[in-house]
Structure 1
Amino acid sequence: MTIDVQPVETRADYQRDGFVILPDALTPDEVRALNDDAVRLCRGEHGAIDSDVVRTFDGVSDEDVLRSFLCIHQPHKISPVALNALHHPRIVDTLTTVIGPNVKAMQSMLFVKSEGRPGQAWHQDEYFIPTRDRSLTGVWIALDDATVENGCLWVLPGSHRAGILYPAREQDDPQFDCTTEAFDFPYADADAVPVELKAGSALIFNGYLLHRSLRNSGKHGLRRALANHYMSAESLLPWRRPADDEHMAIADYRDVVLVAGRDPYAYKGLQDLAVPHTRPDKDGGCGR
């Protein structure tokens, strides 16, 4: 079964299925700018990605430079192009429909799934980024055509509706890069549908939606994607362990970017906590 890509129509689609597809969210020129900027990011032209790793790419082709990476976390911190994508009007317009008028972002990730790279096992994003009001929303933007052959996302439609975070366990299946997987949920792999997207289209999905990706077969070369995470600005974000004198109930991660409306917690100010970084394979550098 393949998803029929149609324009976003109503909030009801998101509430029913846990996701909506936004065709042509970005123009070809915007996709090209992000892909060109991805090379600059990987070459270190925007600044160091990992302060403790020295990389030299003299004489290395752009595609081989990209193949040296799996995921760059928080590219919006140093890339104006990635920061602009975080604010993209068409995407933000859809976010205000499915989340509400006040929206903030806390994370961006540039994925480069080169030939043969594994995917990521079943998981829910809210398991990793907990929100007080369950408003976490992912936006997965295809920067190349995403197909079954090159490791597109697969989703379990409606799996968000129970509002349950399923348990996770260690796994060592070589087709997946991350070391954990969600399990004990009432769905089978046969219930999953692939989300094949043209470059520039976006999948907007609920933080409780079960999703995964599979290995890039290599038939279509490498596959790039930009994944950003958002939530209601009206909710606290207990994403990091609170200070010793702070109760978990009021813990609030403040390294955020307001993309729509107002921030009711603006009086707290903002913090600059996250830095662009990569993670080694099998240590959270998950291959979406």
Structure 2
Amino acid sequence: MPPPGLTPEQLSSFHKDGYLIVRNALRPETVTSLLAETQSLLQKFSLEDHDHPLTRFSTGQTSEHVGDDYFLTSGDKIRFFLEEDAFDAAGNLRKPKDKAVNKIGHGLHASSPPFARLIGRERGEEGEVSPAAVARSLGYVDPRCLQSMVICKQPGIGGAVPPHQDSTFLYTDPPSATGFWYALEDATLENGCLGFLPGSHEWAGVEKRLVRKKGDAGTEMVDNEGGSRFPRGGEGGGARRGRELDGDYVPGEVKAGDLILIHGNLLHKSERNTSAKGRIIYTFHIIEGEDREYDERNWLQPPEGGFTKLYA
């Protein structure tokens, strides 16, 4: 008998709003383990490594840095990307290294044992919500895990992330992405919790895509020409609820251990962390591997052997 996933009420809420907060999805012991692994990675990270280009992670959509080789080949590795505001005007790092990292990615689910255990447990630990069970509830036939990362949202310098859709970055035809977003520390209005435009997954199609330039010379945003804009069975017929204005976004304050599920078409964002508290989270995404085309132009390409299967 498969482990329980989402309740009918939770499924209804997810389909209606495009996101769902699942309280206490992780046990405190699991949160502690993942935080300890995060701190260990931050402490072991060396700025003197010859292969680290001091890559800054920009939350805007026009920066060229995200196309460099360090970024493009990070899909099955553990790599470190730094906050833009961790540098002074002369380009020198002005923060300790562990307080300068924006995110660690993008292959934690494959390269870090504590993070790998989270998706490797078909049933989940007692008292936890199993990612595989959630995927089954959502109707995935062959979910594949990709783009896993810790996002630190550093105190005082953690940058704002503008409204975006996850399927812009992880495009399948038709779209099939779902984000799993775990709070490892409390996420509040003050330290940059997520904000959601409820119901936008029903009317906001995937109009843009982040793709590799020819010859892997970088990345660029392009129009989604000819590709499906909505998942199968959801062709954009939903009534438009809310406008793309700040006041219409609903904050998603959560406690450590909570999980937020995010539909790939949902518009969501986060504000700058202006507080003295960090906001460390872990997120990964799944796409449907059954009867879907994963575009070879996507910035993140599958490693040898393909993306990690979520089902055993």
**TM-score normalised by structure 2 residue count:** 0.64
Q: Aligned partners of 1:189, 1:54: CA distance in 2, in Å?
A: 35
| Deviations 1:195-226, CA, capped at 9 Å, x for gaps | 1111010100101000000011224x111000
How much has 1:153 moved relative to structure 2? 0.5
How much has 1:110 moved relative to structure 2? 0.7
Change (3 A) 1:13 1:162: same
Q: Aligned partners of 1:105, 1:260: CA distance in 2, in Å?
A: 10
1:257 aligns with 2:301: no
Name the counterpart of 1:205.
262
How much has 1:48 moved relative to structure 2? 10
Q: Aligned partners of 1:95, 1:132: CA distance in 2, in Å?
A: 19
Comparing 157-166 with 19-28, greater Cα deviation is found at 157-166
What does 1:10-89 align with in structure 2 at a 5 Å threshold? 10-44=10-44, 52-53=51-52, 64-73=96-105, 74-87=107-120, 89=124
What does 1:101-140 align with in structure 2 at a 5 Å threshold? 101-116=141-156, 117-140=158-181
Consecutive unaligned residues in structure 2, runs of 5 or more: 1-5, 55-94, 211-219, 222-241
| Deviations 1:156-203, CA, capped at 9 Å, x for gaps | 01000125124589xxxxxxxxx98xxxx9432211101111101010
How many residues get paired? Answer: 227
Change (3 A) 1:130 1:37: same
How much has 1:237 moved relative to structure 2? 4.6
| Deviations 1:65-112, CA, capped at 9 Å, x for gaps | 531311111222321111112335323212221242432112201111
Q: Secondary structure of the residue that 2:167 maps to in structure 1?
A: helix
Name the counterpart of 1:227.
283
Q: Secondary structure of the residue that 2:173 maps to in structure 1?
A: coil
Counterpart residue identity of residue 193, structure 1? V
Note the aligned Cα RMSD (angstroms). Answer: 3.4
How much has 1:50 moved relative to structure 2? 7.2
Name the counterpart of 1:59.
none
| Deviations 1:122-160, CA, capped at 9 Å, x for gaps | 111101110123210001100000111100110001000
Q: Secondary structure of the residue that 1:212 maps to in structure 2?
A: strand
CA contact (8 A) 2:132 2:310 kept: yes
Change (3 A) 1:92 1:25: same
Q: Secondary structure of the residue that 1:190 maps to in structure 2?
A: helix
Counterpart residue identity of residue 16, structure 2? R
Change (3 A) 1:34 1:51: farther
Consecutive unaligned residues in structure 1, runs of 5 or more: 1-5, 56-62, 170-178, 243-250, 262-288
* Overall identity of the aligned pairs, in %: 28
Q: Aligned partners of 1:134, 1:107: CA distance in 2, in Å?
A: 16
Q: Aligned partners of 2:30, 2:8: CA distance in 1, in Å?
A: 20
